[in-house]
Structures are given as C-alpha cells and as structure tokens.
Amino acid sequence: MIPVLLNYTTKSEQTLSRRVVAPDFFGFGRSDKPRQDAAYNFDFHRVAMVHLIESLNLTNITLVVQDGGGLIGLTLPITDPRRFKRLIVMNTTIGSGAGKSQAVLDWIAYTSSTPDLDVADLMDTLGHHLSEDEKRAYRAPFPDDTYKGGVRRFPQMIMIEEDMPGVEISKKSRHFFETTDTLGKEAVFVACGMQDAILGPHMKSLARVFRNGCYYAEIEDASHFVQEWGDQVAKLAIEVFETYGNIAGVQEIKPEGAK
C-alpha cells in the first residue's frame, strides 16, 4: 500500500510530493514498551498518536485507518481539524458502546484466553492466504508472548459498553463528522472488505456518517484486513482524491437523511 501511496500518479496531477508516516502502536513487536498489559488502553494509544502528530507537526494529513486503528484514529481529527485533509477508512467503526454482537463477544473471549496468539495465522485467516515466507515475516516481531501486549489488549478496547474508555470522545467525533464542512465528499474514501462477516455489513452505514458524503468501494475478495489488498485500495483512493469520482468500482455515498 505504501509504495502506491508514495508513487502512484493520475493524469490530473502536475507534481508528486507525498510522504508516509506509518507508526506502530505500542505493544506490537520488539520496540521499547510497557511490560504490563494493563498499560495498553484506549487513552494510552490515543495520547501517543496525538503526541506523534504534534511532535512532528504533521499537516495536510491523509489519515489511513483500519480495525482498532480506526477506533482510535477516527477520534484524532476532532483534536485539531486543521491538520487533517483527507480520510481513507477501511473495515472499522466509530465506538459507541453498542457493539455487543455475539461475534464480537466471541472474539474478545477468544483473545482473552489465547495470550500467545499466532499473529501469522490470524493474518492468514482474516487477510490474504500467506506463503510460508510471509508467515515468518509476520511472526518475526513476536518471538514470544511478552512481545504481544498490544495484540492481546486491542480486542479488549472494543467499546461494547457505554461507560468504556473512548466512548465519549468517539461520540463527539461522530458528531464532528456529521456536522463539519472541513471534509468534502472528495476527501473521504471508504473501502469495504466484503468477506469480513462482522464489519463488512456495517461499512456502508459508516460511510453515511459524513456530512458532505463520501466515496465508497467494495473490495469483493478482501477480508477483514483490507490493507492486504492495499495496492487496489490506494489506487482507488488517489483517483478519488485527484479526480473527484467517476471511477469504475467507486460509488458516491450521500449522508444519512439526504435525498
């Protein structure tokens, strides 16, 4: 995905000047990190992302989010909307405290009972079928379960109750997207991995949150980890941002209640 975001051009572009900032969340792999799983909560991760953005003084941001990265990431623009220019949103949600489906509860229970979760097997199941070399690459940052604090804790952050951390700022963020004029429809691209049984059916509803609408594409073969189809998603997103629609496989989504 990153090479396409950096290098793909459209006929309408006169110059190419992009960079990608791709931070890891704490608790995923070999970097310095807290040793106690309890440290990894919504506020900890969100504060870290805000600090990163402010420390690097990032502006003109195209925010790319998926899964738990969306739970946190979609609450960032409300902090300083002037920094954010566009969104690429893949299978995720805005937390509300109402996500208590049986499938979600089963996933939380499974990860709670599997402290040494095999990251490669997870990616193989919920993403592309991986080669053995790719599996080794996914396992490399996680020599044993002490490197997997973030892996274990992210599912516990899913907001299934209204009093959970993150619900309040998530509701404010949803209201921000519903009311702001700072994001035109050509600035928001939503990609749905259709093979994701939990989030796939939800993505078109999420696409209707944005006040000015957005552009939306269904990636038929993609499962939960849509970024594994990143070249396709990135090309479509750039086409949307540079040519404002009329792209094969992309539809305009109007906000909820619009005629």
Q: How many whole angstroms separate alpha carbon 234 and alpha carbon 252? A: 17
Q: What is the DSSP letter of 97?
A: S
Has 45 been annotated as catalytic?
no
* Structure tokens, 239: 């086409």
Has 196 been annotated as catalytic?
yes
Beta bridge partners of 251: 216
Burial 88-119, CB ≥16 within 10 A → b, else e = bbbbbbbbebebeeeeeeeebeebeeeeebbb
Has 224 been annotated as catalytic?
yes
The catalytic residue among 51, 67, 145, 175 is 67
Whole-Å CA distances, 240 to 44, 67, 155, 160, 254: 33, 22, 32, 33, 15
The answer to whether the CB of 94 falls within 8 A of the CB of 118 is no
- What number of residues does the chain have? 259
Q: In what order do the strands lie in the sheet with 61-66?
A: 61-66, 84-90, 188-193, 214-219, 250-253
Burial 129-142, CB ≥16 within 10 A → b, else e = ebeeebbeebeeeb
Q: What is the DSSP letter of 99?
A: -
Q: What is the sign, positive or negative, of the torsion defined by CA atoms of 154, 118, 140, 39?
A: positive
Q: What are the catalytic residues?
A: 67, 196, 224
